[in-house]
Every structure is written in structure tokens, then in C-alpha cells.
Structure 1
């Protein structure tokens, strides 16, 4: 897998940084260890010096006592009193210096016991008004010499131990004195090598990128030219010209796209031609339905009216019932034909986009289709929007008519509500009728579906289908919220801006 230039640069700098960090850590640790071992060497010298000073103070005190005993000259004892204090200070100093060495502490404790014993012997020898026999004095002096030899032996062991430590610490110090500059030099050399390597790689990649960019410029220019041709074809298709073709024989993605677009325009040309023929057939059907079907229907209705007007006195009650049923069926058949025509024309006729005061429109629909026994209540202020007035009027007309037609009482209330959303308005038309069971909430929007017996209410079952199709054309949504005995609320959304820009 080939890495990008930025990735290579980042990886190179990461490696360089890691190497420099590692060598820096090694250098730091080397210098740190050098410092530590230097301090340890100094510490060893301090221990040796303190031990030597302690031993020399004991020897000096012994020398003063012997001088006094030989000459009986009190001047020898002039500084003897302070010698013991100095010795005690030296012991405390050595205890601090050897706190990290248990063996030395043990030797120091033994040495302190011997020194105290030696000072006790010397104190006995110089104590005034005390007569000592020559034999006693020799015994004390022999004991002093033996004690002093033991003290010197302990001093030699302390010195020997410290000298061994000094040798090892000198060796470690010499080692780190050698390692520290080497690591610094190696770090500098590695940094220079890595920097040179990065410079070489980046220079080579930049040169390759410049060549690639020059090639890409040429490719982009050629691609832009070919894309302009495709855009021109798309513009021609939007303008309704489906015979336009692209001449592009390149064997690449754009060439394949050009071939697909050529086949697409050919299919569109064929499909729109077939669609135009179908629309003509539908227009012919609408003409036949509106004239050839409705003309004989009106004739039959006229004959029924003549029978009712001229033979009303001779018609029996049973025949009157049949005649009334015939009138209802004929009226339903006319409504069905008008509904089918209205459903077929939705979305095929031009829309007249205008400012519509929905409050005023609802009032006009109320006057047209709502009987005086029913009351229409507007719960929220209704907006003014730019839309097709006729389509919105059809929606409210059908919903109000249904609320009145299917009400189980002779009087009722219709409530209109409105909620403003970001891109649309949500309208609610609610009634206090018998309600609709949840299992029929989807069924009622299908064509020719009615929930009541056709003998009870002359209904075509197409009104809500028209409403649903109009709202779908406006890119809105519709649903019903109802339960048996709780009335029905039809909720639909209507866009703030016209969904269709066609103007009649």
C-alpha cells in the first residue's frame, strides 16, 4: 500500500522524534548516573576523611595522656577536655555518612564502644590524688594499647570497605564519563542522518507531486470539458429535448456514463412519447365520461323527474319508495363520475399559485357545504400562504362534507386547528361524530371505501382518496386520529412554499 506524502512526512518526523527522545533519555540517564556516582565518590572520601579524623583525635588524646604521665606536665592536658567532645561529634558525623551501609554502622558502633573504653582508661590514669602502683599502671597502659590496636583494626576495616566502594564507584564514574559524550554524539549523528533522509524523501516526493499535479491539471481540463458536455445534455433533457446525444468514445467511466446517458435519453424519448399518448387517451376518456356517460344519465334523471311530477297522484307508496331509491342511485352515480374525473385530473392540470387567506377560505367552504345545524369552530389563528387555492379548498370541502355526511346526529361541531412547523403548517379538522375504529384508519383513504351501508348514506367512497392524492401532490402527509364514539380528527400538513411551481 502506497502511503501519502503527508503520512510519510509524519512517520519520518515521528521516527526522528522517537530516536531523539530515546537518545536524549539515554544521555540524560548517563549524565544523571555520572552525577550520582561522582557524589558517591565524594561521599566515600568524606567517610574516609571523617574516620581518619576520628582516629587521629583518639591518638592525640592518648598522646597527651602519655606525655602527662611521663613528664607530669599539666600543659599536656590543656586541650584534653575538648578532645572527647570532638570525638563524639566525629562519631555523629560518621553515623550520618554511613547511614546507608549497615556493615559500616555495625563497625562504627563497635569502634565507639572501644573509644569510650579507651577514654575511661585514660581518665583513670589522669585522675588526681589517686595513687596507682606501677603494676596497676602497666595493666591500664597495656589495656589501652590493646584497645587502641582494636580501634586501629576497626579503622582499617572501615577504610578497607570504603576503599572497595571507592574503587567500584570510580569504575562506574569512569564508565558513565565515557558513555555520556558518546550518547550525545550518537544522538547528534542520528538526528543529522534522519534530517538528511527526510529532506531527501520530501524533495523526491515533492518533485513527483509536481509532475503528478501537472498531469492532473491536463486530466482535469479534459474531464471538465467532457462534464460540460454531460451538463449540456442534462440541461437539454430538462428543457424537454430527449433526442440529444453525446459523442464520447473514450473507454473510461465518463465514456461509459455518456453511453448510459444516450440510452437514457432514448428511453425517455420513447417513454414520454408513450406517456403523451396515454395522456391523450385519458383526456379522451375524461371527455367521454363527462359527455357520453353523463348525457344519458341526465336523461334518465329527467325521465324520473317527469314521472314524479306528472304521475305523483297515481304512484303507490311502494313505487314512491322505489322512485326515491332510483333518484339516490342516479345522484350517487353522477357523484361517482364527477369524483373519478376529479381524481384523474389531480396533478395533471396547471396550478394557480396565489396568496391564500386560509381563514377566509374556511369561512367560504363553511357557507357552501356545512348546514346551519352544524357549527364550525376555528381554535387557532389560520395563516396566509402562497399556494394553489383550488387544491386547498378541495381538501377542506371534502373533509367538512364527510364530517356532516357521516355524523350520527342531526347537529354537531367541526373544529379547525393549525400548528406552524419549520417548513409546513399542520391543520386538524376534528368532528364530534361517531368516530372510526383503529382498524379502518388506513382503509378509509382507499378508493370506493366507505364504512356505512350504501343504502343508509349515498356515498361514492372517493372523497378521502381525492384529499389524500391532493396532499401527496403537495408533498404533505395525512393521518387520522379517532376511536369509536370519540369523533374523528383528520390531520394533514401543507407546505409553506408551493410544492409545484406550475402556474395556470
Structure 2
């Protein structure tokens, strides 16, 4: 009987070894093919990434040249030469990646020719020795837009071909991704079944399992106790207590976790302390900006006024023009300081939540910033709800001011509409001004960005940045819908009720 049992055990080991060997071979072949397909997919993504970077850098170089042409500031050209070198290096890398694909090499060569022509045209625009007329510059810029469109089209053809390769390679990769785990799971299941059958023949395993169970129970109780300590620490951290510590000296995973949590709470305590110091520094900056920076501005403005008053008969028309330009620049600088201060204060002052009648609020804003020749079209009813009235007033003030300031006819119509959603109100402020081209819809919300010549309109480029930051602080959103020559429509959402607030009598 003993020999029969030993024979069964030996046969079991032999069958298990054979199954494991067979599945190991299949798994090895599947995993190797999977690795090959994975590298092919990575190669395709690398080609797409490199080609996209080339296109992006060419577009970036074009933006730098346009910035230089608009402002004559050579700072815009600081990264022009490095970008051009990076484009050439990118073509070399892509050529190496697609060396085995003649069709893609032909497309890349065509794209390279277009890019080089593009840079030659841009070089003509930034070369100081070449005096170009306005019409020549416009022709070059128009040609640049067409060549950029051609470059983008060539990139899309390269991308489309690579995406076709990617789809095929993904399909093959998915096949081997399916085969590999199936073979591994089958081998594991068979090995487990055979192993269980073998271990059933060992009577002493029962006693060992029982002893193991008791040990695990004790370990589980100890682990549970230590996890509860970690949970209490997490709760205290959520309550704002960053000085709490865990006293766990065990040299295991939970002990290491306790040590990491102690370091985390210490780092949080230090970070919040540093943040508090930074806020104090920001407050100090605001004080300096509002006092020490504004005082010299007012002094210079006063001096200019004295010159105009005392030298009225001696000033030439040209000098009067210069003084007017100086006053405009001084006013814009003061507005810029005020805008920076307003931007810095957003989210750092306590909200004053009060019952707000939006209809009355909009009428007040209209009286303050909208000239008599403009018409403001309001709906019959606007909501009344509890919110931070001053912040909402500032949003409408900045949007109305922009509609008036950038209107191309000097008179127009501002239309306000409101739609109630489940969690918020959606306000719409539309004008019939010159409109905004789609490519500038994101740019206008950035700091110091203005679409008009600063000599035409004394703008700081902060108004819409303040609007977006206020709305972000309120957990709302803002977007613009506009086309050139068709006016601009700003759509923003405003929550019906802040999450945490105290009513102000």
C-alpha cells in the first residue's frame, strides 16, 4: 500500500512537472511576442511624439517672431535659435525611427522642406539689415500661415499612417496579451490542483495549518490595533492637527508606514508654517504696492500737470502729445498695480455672503461703467440668492468694462441673460463689438494679455484674468463664444450657494 501511495505521488509530480514545462514554454513564447509588439507600439508613439514636437516648436517659433514684430522686443527671439536647432534634431530622430518605412520617409522629407522654407521666411522678418515694407511683411506672414497649414497637413498624414500601424500593432498586442495570461492562469490552476492533491496525502499538514491559523489570528488582532492607531492619526490630520505622532517601533511594514506618516505630518506642519509666512510676505507686498509704488506715480503725474499748467504757451504740439502719452502710461501703470493687488487678494479675503438681487446689481454696474450711448438689454427677471455680492459685482464690472472699452463703433448693445441649473446659475454677457478670433479664446484669460495695441487702448490685460480667478474660487467656470466681426459672448456659471458661509446681517 505504501508503494502505491509513493507511486501516485511520483506520478503526480511528473504530471505537474510536464504541465508546468509545457505551459512555461507557451507562456515564454507568448510573452516574448508580447514584448515585441509592445516595443512596436512604443516605437509608434515615439514617432508621433517626435513629429508633434516638431510641429509645436515650429508654431512656437512663429509665435516668437510675431511677438517680436508686434513689440520690437528681442526678448521674444531668445528661444528662437534653440527651437530651430531642436526642430532639426527632431527631424534626425524621426528619420532614424522610420528608417524602415520608405513612405513615411518621403512624407517626412516633404515636411522638412516645408519647415525649412518656413524658417527662411521667418528669418527674413527678424533680420535687422533687411528693411521690409508693411505689405512685404503681410505677404510673408500670409505665406507663413499657408506653409504652417501645409506643415500641419503633412504631419496629419504622417500621424494617420502611424495610427494605422498603431491599430494593427495594438490588435496583435491584444492577441498576445490574451494568450499570455490565459496560459499562465491555466498552468497556475493545474499546478494548484495537482499540488492540493499531493498535500492531501500529508496528514501532518492539518496540525501545521491549525497552528498557522492561530498565529495569523494573533497577528491579525495586533495588525488591527495598529491600523486603528493610523486611522486616528489620519482623522486628527484632517481636523488640522499636524503635530500628532505615532509611537510604533516595530520593524515591519506597518512600522515603516507609521514612520512615513510621522514624517508626513511633520512636513505638513512645516509646509503650512511656510505658507503662513508667504501669506504674510504677500500682505507686505500689497502694502508696499499700494503705498510705496503709488506715491511716486502720483508725484510724476503731478509734475506733468504742473508742466502743462505753467508752460501752456511754451509747449509745442509735439510736446503736448508726449505729455499726453506720458499721462496715459502713468494711468495704465497705476491701473496695473491696482489690478495686481486685486488679483492677489482674490481668495485671500473672507467672503461676505449676503442676499443679492442680481437685477439691482447689474443696474448698479451699468450706472458705474457703461456710457449713456450704450444700451444694456436685461431679462425681465434675474435671480435673488445668497452669495458673495462683491465678487459677483466685480465679474459683471470687468465684463461690462471690456465690452465698452473694446467696442469698435463707440456705441453698442450689451445683452445679459441667465439660465437656472440644478446647482448653479449660468449667466451670459454678450456684446455686438468686433468679436474675438477662436484662436485667442484661451489666451484672453491669461495675465497681461490684450488683443489690441496698447497705444490704441490703455489696457492692463488683467481684467479677464481677475474674472477667471474669481469664478475659479467660486468653483464655477467661464468660456467665450465668438467669431471675428460677430461680437463676443462670455458664459459663466455661479453656484447658487457657497459650501461654507456665514450669513451677514
TM bin, normalised by shorter chain, reads 0.5 to 0.7
**Aligned counterparts of 2:379 and 2:216: Cα–Cα separation in 1:** 64
Counting only pairs closer than 5 Å after superposition, residues 341-356 of structure 1 correspond to structure 2 as: 341-356=341-356
Q: TM-score, normalised by structure 1?
A: 0.54
Q: Deviations over 1:132-166 (max 9, x none)?
A: xxxxxxxxxxxxxxxxxxxxxxxxxxxxxxxxxxx
Counting only pairs closer than 5 Å after superposition, residues 85-124 of structure 1 correspond to structure 2 as: none
Distance change >3 Å, CA 220–CA 476, structure 1 → 2: farther
Query: In the alignment, which residue of structure 2 is the partner of 1:449?
Result: 449
**Aligned counterparts of 1:325 and 1:219: Cα–Cα separation in 2:** 81
Query: In the alignment, which residue of structure 2 is the partner of 1:415?
Result: 415
- Whether the 8 Å contact between 1:357 and 1:385 is mirrored in structure 2 is yes
**Matching of residue 307 in structure 1 with residue 312 in structure 2:** no
Question: Equivalent residue of 1:350, what SS?
Answer: coil
Greater Cα shift, 300-309 or 231-240 = 231-240
Count of residue correspondences: 297
Distance change >3 Å, CA 381–CA 249, structure 1 → 2: farther
Q: Deviations over 1:154-190 (max 9, x none)?
A: xxxxxxxxxxxxxxxxxxxxxxxxxxxxxxxxxxxxx
Deviation of 1:274 (Å)? 1.8
**Aligned counterparts of 2:247 and 2:326: Cα–Cα separation in 1:** 67
Counting only pairs closer than 5 Å after superposition, residues 315-326 of structure 1 correspond to structure 2 as: 315-326=315-326
Distance change >3 Å, CA 380–CA 446, structure 1 → 2: farther
Query: In the alignment, which residue of structure 1 is the partner of 2:387?
Result: 387
- Structure 2, gaps ≥5 residues long: 1-210
Q: Deviations over 1:357-388 (max 9, x none)?
A: 21111111111111111111113632122221
Q: Deviations over 1:93-142 (max 9, x none)?
A: xxxxxxxxxxxxxxxxxxxxxxxxxxxxxxxxxxxxxxxxxxxxxxxxxx
- Whether the 8 Å contact between 1:476 and 1:493 is mirrored in structure 2 is yes
Rg larger in 1 or in 2? 1
Query: In the alignment, which residue of structure 1 is the partner of 2:171?
Result: none
**Aligned counterparts of 1:303 and 1:229: Cα–Cα separation in 2:** 70
Distance change >3 Å, CA 378–CA 277, structure 1 → 2: same
- Whether the 8 Å contact between 1:369 and 1:400 is mirrored in structure 2 is yes
Question: Equivalent residue of 2:471, what SS?
Answer: helix
Question: Equivalent residue of 2:276, what SS?
Answer: helix
**Aligned counterparts of 2:216 and 2:357: Cα–Cα separation in 1:** 58
**Aligned counterparts of 1:228 and 1:417: Cα–Cα separation in 2:** 54
**Aligned counterparts of 2:395 and 2:464: Cα–Cα separation in 1:** 9
Query: In the alignment, which residue of structure 2 is the partner of 1:433?
Result: 433
- Whether the 8 Å contact between 1:475 and 1:499 is mirrored in structure 2 is no
Deviation of 1:350 (Å)? 1.3
Distance change >3 Å, CA 373–CA 291, structure 1 → 2: same
**Aligned counterparts of 1:502 and 1:331: Cα–Cα separation in 2:** 38
Query: In the alignment, which residue of structure 1 is the partner of 2:263?
Result: 263
Deviation of 1:310 (Å)? 3.0
Query: In the alignment, which residue of structure 2 is the partner of 1:163?
Result: none
Counting only pairs closer than 5 Å after superposition, residues 88-487 of structure 1 correspond to structure 2 as: 225-250=225-250, 254-379=254-379, 381-487=381-487
**Aligned counterparts of 2:425 and 2:340: Cα–Cα separation in 1:** 28
Deviation of 1:295 (Å)? 0.6
Distance change >3 Å, CA 349–CA 217, structure 1 → 2: farther
- Whether the 8 Å contact between 1:374 and 1:412 is mirrored in structure 2 is yes
- Whether the 8 Å contact between 1:412 and 1:431 is mirrored in structure 2 is yes
- Whether the 8 Å contact between 1:233 and 1:246 is mirrored in structure 2 is yes
- Whether the 8 Å contact between 2:354 and 2:503 is mirrored in structure 1 is no
Question: Equivalent residue of 1:313, what SS?
Answer: coil
Query: In the alignment, which residue of structure 1 is the partner of 2:48?
Result: none
**Aligned counterparts of 1:299 and 1:503: Cα–Cα separation in 2:** 43
- Whether the 8 Å contact between 1:356 and 1:385 is mirrored in structure 2 is yes
Query: In the alignment, which residue of structure 2 is the partner of 1:179?
Result: none
**Aligned counterparts of 1:423 and 1:492: Cα–Cα separation in 2:** 13
- Whether the 8 Å contact between 1:416 and 1:429 is mirrored in structure 2 is yes
**Aligned counterparts of 1:502 and 1:278: Cα–Cα separation in 2:** 27
Deviation of 1:332 (Å)? 0.3
**Aligned counterparts of 2:325 and 2:253: Cα–Cα separation in 1:** 69
**Aligned counterparts of 1:322 and 1:256: Cα–Cα separation in 2:** 70
Deviation of 1:426 (Å)? 1.0
**Aligned counterparts of 1:217 and 1:494: Cα–Cα separation in 2:** 54
Distance change >3 Å, CA 243–CA 442, structure 1 → 2: same
Deviation of 1:222 (Å)? 5.9
**Aligned counterparts of 1:429 and 1:390: Cα–Cα separation in 2:** 18
Question: Equivalent residue of 1:385, what SS?
Answer: strand
Deviation of 1:241 (Å)? 2.8
Q: Deviations over 1:176-220 (max 9, x none)?
A: xxxxxxxxxxxxxxxxxxxxxxxxxxxxxxxxxxx9999999888
Q: Deviations over 1:386-443 (max 9, x none)?
A: 2211111111110000000000112111111111112111111100000001111111
Distance change >3 Å, CA 376–CA 500, structure 1 → 2: farther
